[in-house]
C-alpha cells in the first residue's frame, strides 16, 4: 500500500507499491515507483521517481532522486540531487552532491559537493569532495581525490587519490591515479600521466606519454613522447615531440627540437624546425638554416671574471697562427646544408625567402683551413668546433679570433718597438762617429 503509515502529512503524491510506505508527517513529497521514499517519515518536499528511489531517506527534506535506486542509501546527507539509475546509490551522509547519469557517483558515501554529469561519472567516489566530472566515466575510479575537474568522456577515469587536477577533453589525464596539480586540455592530453605532478598540457596528445613532473606543453603533439623527463617547456606544433627522458629543455616553435634529442638536457631551441641530429645538451640554437640575421640592441656579453678561470696560461699564438689563415668571401649553399643537417628530420616546408641567404655574399674563413692552421702551430683553438658525425658540420666561433689577433698586434708592436730602439741606437752611433 502507499502512504500506509501517514498520519498528518499533507500534499504527498505516492504512486507505486509501498511508495512513501512509512511516511508519518512529511509533506509535499512525491514518490513514484515501487518503494520510492519507502522509509521517509517526516522528510518534506522530496522527489523520488523510480523503483527504490530515496528508499532509506527518513527525515531529510529537499532531496531529488530520479531513477531506480537513485539515492537509495541516503539517510542524513542533505541537498543531494540524483538523476539516473542508481545515481548516488551508496551515499549515506554525503551532502550537496549532484549526479546526472546512470550510476553517476554510485559509490559515494561521505563525499560532498561533487558534480557528476554522465553515465558512470565519479562512479567509484567514496569520500572525495568538490570534484566535477562531466562526461561518461569522467573521474570514474576516483575514491578520495578532491578538487578535481574532468570534462570529457573518460577524462581522468583512472584517478583514485589525485587532487587539484583539471582535465578537459576526451581521455585527458586518463591514466592519472595519484598525480596532483596537473592541467590537461585536449584530446588525449597527458593521457599516460599516473603519479607525476604540476604538469600543464594544452593540445591534442600533448604530453601523451608523460611520467615526469613540472612539464609545460602547448601545441599539437607537443612533448608527446616524453616519459620521465621533467621541467621541460614546449610551445608549438610538434614542439619537443621527440623528447623522452630529457629534462630542463625549452623548445619554442613548430617542430622545434632535434629528432635525436630524446635525452638532451638543458637545451634551448627557438624557431621553426630548429634542432638537428647533432644538437647537444647545454646549448642554445636560434632559428633554422634560412635565418639571415640575428640582431639585438647590444652585443652579446660573455662571463670573463678572473675568479672563475683556472689554469690560466699566456700561450695564445699570434702571427704564426693568424698568418696561416685565408680570409675569403663566399655564398652559402643551404640546399646542401639542409641535406646534411636535416638527414633525420626533413625540412619539407617551403616559404618565400627560404633560400634568400644563398644570395648573400659573406666574409669569413673556411673551417677546415682554420683547423689546418691551428694544427700546424700546435694550437688547441677553442674557436673551432669539429663535427661529431656524418650529419654534423664544422663550426667557427668568430669571437674567439680576438685573442690571437690581439696577440698578433702585440707581437707586431714589439717588432715595431724593437726596430725603433734599434734605429735610435744606430742614430746615436752615427752621431758619435760624426763627432770623431
Q: Which pLDDT does position 77 carry in this prediction?
A: 87
Sequence ranges of the domains in the chain: 316-409
Helix/strand/coil for 133: strand
The secondary structure of residue 398, as a DSSP letter, is G
Q: From the centroid of its chain, how far is CA 186?
A: 12
Contact 56, 42 (CB under 8 A): no
Helix/strand/coil for 368: helix
Q: What is the mean pLDDT of residues 404-422?
A: 95
Query: Phi, psi (5° rounding) for residue 117?
Result: -130, 105
pLDDT of 358 over the 70 cut: yes
Q: What is the pLDDT of residues 93-121, one digit of tens each?
A: 999 999 999 999 999 999 999 999 999 99
Q: Which pLDDT does position 342 carry in this prediction?
A: 87
Q: How far apart are the first and last CA of the chain?
A: 152
Q: Which pLDDT does position 374 carry in this prediction?
A: 97
Q: Which pLDDT does position 389 carry in this prediction?
A: 87
Q: Residue 216: which of 227, 228, 205, 206 has the closest Cα?
A: 206
Contact 159, 145 (CB under 8 A): yes
C-alpha to C-alpha distance for 251 and 270, rounded to whole angstroms? 6
Q: Which pLDDT does position 1 carry in this prediction?
A: 66
Cell numbers that stand for 255 in this block? 617542430
Q: Which pLDDT does position 44 carry in this prediction?
A: 92
pLDDT of 84 over the 70 cut: yes
Q: Which pLDDT does position 436 carry in this prediction?
A: 66
C-alpha to C-alpha distance for 209 and 238, rounded to whole angstroms? 14
The secondary structure of residue 145, as a DSSP letter, is -
Q: What is the pLDDT of residues 169-210, one digit of tens each?
A: 999 999 999 999 999 999 999 999 999 999 999 999 999 999
Cell numbers that stand for 310 in this block? 683556472
Concatenate the DSSP letters of all residues of 162-218 into one string. Answer: --S-EEESTTTTTT-SS--S-EEESTTTTTT-SS--S-EEESTTTTTT---SS-EEE
C-alpha to C-alpha distance for 344 and 38, rounded to whole angstroms? 71
pLDDT of 9 over the 90 cut: no
- The H or E element containing residue 320 is helix 319-322
Contact 144, 161 (CB under 8 A): yes
Task: Quote the Cα angle for 427-431-434, to 5°.
Answer: 135
Q: Could you tell me the maximum CA-CA distance found in the chain, to the nearest angstrom?
A: 152
Interstrand relation of 132-134 and 30-32 (parallel, antiparallel or unpaired): unpaired
Amino acid at each position: 500500500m502507499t502512504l500506509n503509515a501517514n498520519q498528518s502529512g499533507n500534499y504527498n503524491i505516492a504512486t507505486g507499491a509501498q511508495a512513501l510506505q512509512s511516511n508519518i508527517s512529511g509533506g509535499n513529497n512525491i514518490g513514484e515507483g515501487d518503494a520510492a521514499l519507502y522509509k521517509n517519515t517526516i522528510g518534506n518536499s522530496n522527489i523520488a521517481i523510480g523503483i527504490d528511489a530515496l528508499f532509506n531517506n527518513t527525515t531529510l527534506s529537499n532531496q531529488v532522486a530520479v531513477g531506480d535506486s537513485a539515492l537509495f542509501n541516503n539517510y542524513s546527507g542533505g541537498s543531494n540531487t540524483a538523476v539516473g539509475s542508481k545515481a548516488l546509490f551508496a551515499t549515506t551522509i554525503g551532502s550537496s552532491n549532484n549526479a546526472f547519469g546512470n550510476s553517476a557517483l554510485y559509490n559515494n558515501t561521505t563525499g560532498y559537493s561533487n558534480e557528476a554529469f554522465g553515465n558512470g561519472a565519479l562512479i567509484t567516489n567514496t569520500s572525495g569532495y568538490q570534484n566535477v566530472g562531466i562526461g561518461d566515466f569522467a573521474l570514474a575510479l576516483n575514491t578520495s581525490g578532491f578538487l578535481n575537474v574532468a570534462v570529457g568522456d573518460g577524462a581522468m577515469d583512472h584517478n583514485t587519490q589525485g587532487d587539484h587536477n583539471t582535465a578537459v577533453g576526451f581521455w585527458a589525464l586518463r591514466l592519472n591515479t595519484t598525480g596532483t596539480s596537473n592541467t590537461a586540455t585536449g584530446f588525449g592530453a597527458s593521457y599516460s600521466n599516473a603519479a607525476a605532478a604540476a604538469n600543464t598540457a594544452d593540445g591534442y596528445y600533448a604530453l601523451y606519454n608523460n611520467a615526469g613532473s613540472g612539464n609545460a606543453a602547448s601545441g599539437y603533439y607537443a612533448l608527446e613522447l616524453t616519459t620521465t623527463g621533467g621541467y621541460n617547456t614546449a610551445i608549438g606544433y610538434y614542439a619537443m615531440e621527440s623528447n623522452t627522458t630529457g629534462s630542463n629543455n625549452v623548445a619554442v616553435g613548430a617542430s622545434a627540437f632535434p629528432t635525436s634529442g630524446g635525452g638532451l638536457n638543458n637545451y634551448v631551441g627557438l624557431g621553426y624546425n630548429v634542432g638537428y641530429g647533432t644538437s647537444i645538451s647545454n646549448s642554445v640554437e636560434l632559428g633554422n638554416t634560412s635565418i639571415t640575421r640575428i640582431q639585438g640592441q647590444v652585443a652579446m656579453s660573455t662571463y670573463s671574471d678572473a675568479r672563475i678561470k683556472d689554469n690560466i696560461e699566456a700561450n695564445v699564438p699570434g702571427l704564426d697562427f693568424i698568418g696561416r689563415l685565408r680570409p675569403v668571401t663566399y655564398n652559402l649553399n643551404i640546399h646542401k646544408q639542409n641535406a646534411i643537417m636535416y638527414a633525420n628530420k626533413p625540412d619539407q616546408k617551403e616559404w618565400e625567402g627560404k633560400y634568400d641567404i644563398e644570395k648573400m655574399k659573406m666574409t669569413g674563413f673556411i673551417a677546415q683551413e682554420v683547423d689546418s692552421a691551428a694544427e700546424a702551430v700546435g694550437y688547441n683553438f677553442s674557436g673551432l668546433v669539429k663535427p661529431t658525425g656524418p650529419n654534423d658540420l664544422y663550426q667557427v666561433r668568430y669571437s674567439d679570433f680576438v685573442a690571437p689577433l690581439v696577440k698578433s698586434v702585440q707581437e707586431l708592436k714589439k717588432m715595431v718597438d724593437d726596430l725603433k730602439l734599434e734605429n735610435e741606437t744606430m742614430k746615436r752611433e752615427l752621431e758619435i762617429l760624426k763627432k770623431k
